Amino acid sequence: MLPITIVGLGSYLPARVVASAELEVALGLPPGWAEQTTGVRERRYAAGETSAGMAAEAARRALAPPRRGLGGPHLSLGASSGPQQAIPCTAALVQRELGAPDGRSACFDVNATCLSFLFALQSAAHMVAAGAYSCALIVSSEIGTHSRNPAEPEGATLFGDAAAAAVITRTPQGEPGALQCAKFATYGSGAGLTSILGGGTLHHPNDPATTPEMNRFHMHGPGLLRLAARTLGPFLDAFFAEAGWAREEIDLLVPHQASRNGLGLLTARLGFRPEQVFLNLAERGNCIAASLPLALAEAAAQGRVGRGDRVVLLGTGAGMTIGAVGLTF
């Protein structure tokens, strides 16, 4: 148990709203196919924004009022699947966008695809609780449009663009905030179920053998769902045993908005009541690493979570990795 509190949440959504009907026309799909298959009615697409710019706007909202500001030594983590550029880390670019004082913060990125925010939250919590930093800013910003694969319509209609940010500090004496438990497990047998082959050393952008197809997102949805269905139950049993909580005691479950079928597992097979689960998939799509902090920020803005509530953040990421973080909010 780590005595940390999320003191600020912020998000940014691009102005452009893309309805599923628009994508169905563009991809030659039957009317209603996208929402029926993925559960997504509309999503946002960036139009001229940069990843760092979106992240900085979400961070400004999370850092308001000024008492949550950038004064004093602190830590800034970029937590996204897609960096703005290969070098430097996106967190440093966000620091520049924010106009933060030089030398007053340490910046680095964490990339665990859809679970980047959870890994960054766990990492920052340990450092803040230990007193290494007084304040940590975590930003997740995703622009997945460039990697959409029209040959795989389920993936091409599933994703949306967004940014979200969280600010954490050490919990003052006598207050309830804490990271109660964090658990992660990777099932490497599923590493080939989601991929973008290009962009690294194996299929480098400068290699003439690298094709545009290698820079597009590939996903084997049925295989992912089967693996998640087999592993999520035992994983959650172990997580709740370590946390010392029961499913019925959870005030709010905030899942990664992976897909309609994936979210259906939570209530149909894994024992959560529908009213415990926060969903925004239909209006936002799967926003990759920004999905979890965006959902948490929107849940807080809607009054679905309050101080002292028991909150579980849960998701899966490429690899395949499952992750869960339990918070006393």
- State the catalytic residues: 114, 256, 286
Burial code (b: 16+ CB inside 10 Å, e: under 16) for 130-153 equals: eeebebbbbbbbbbbbebbbeebb
Radius of gyration from C-alpha coordinates of the chain: 19
C-alpha distances in Å from residue 233, one per residue of 236, 253, 256, 265: 5, 15, 16, 10
What CA–CA distance (Å, rounded) separates 190 from 253? 25
77 three-class SS? strand
What CA–CA distance (Å, rounded) separates 156 from 28? 12
Residue 312: which H helix or E strand, with range? strand 310-317
* Beta pairing class for 178-186 and 321-328: antiparallel
Strand partners, 273: none
Residues ≥6 apart with Cβ < 8 Å to 212? none
DSSP secondary structure, 99-110, as one string = TPPTTSEEEEEE
Region for residue 43 given its phi and psi (left: phi exceeds 0; alpha: psi -120 to 50; beta: otherwise): beta
What CA–CA distance (Å, rounded) separates 316 from 113? 9
DSSP secondary structure, 15-28, as one string = SEEEEHHHHHHHHT
Q: Give the tokens for residue 322.
A: 């499952």
Residue 324: which H helix or E strand, with range? strand 321-328
Residue 220 CB burial class (10 angstroms; 0-12, 13-18, ≥19): middle
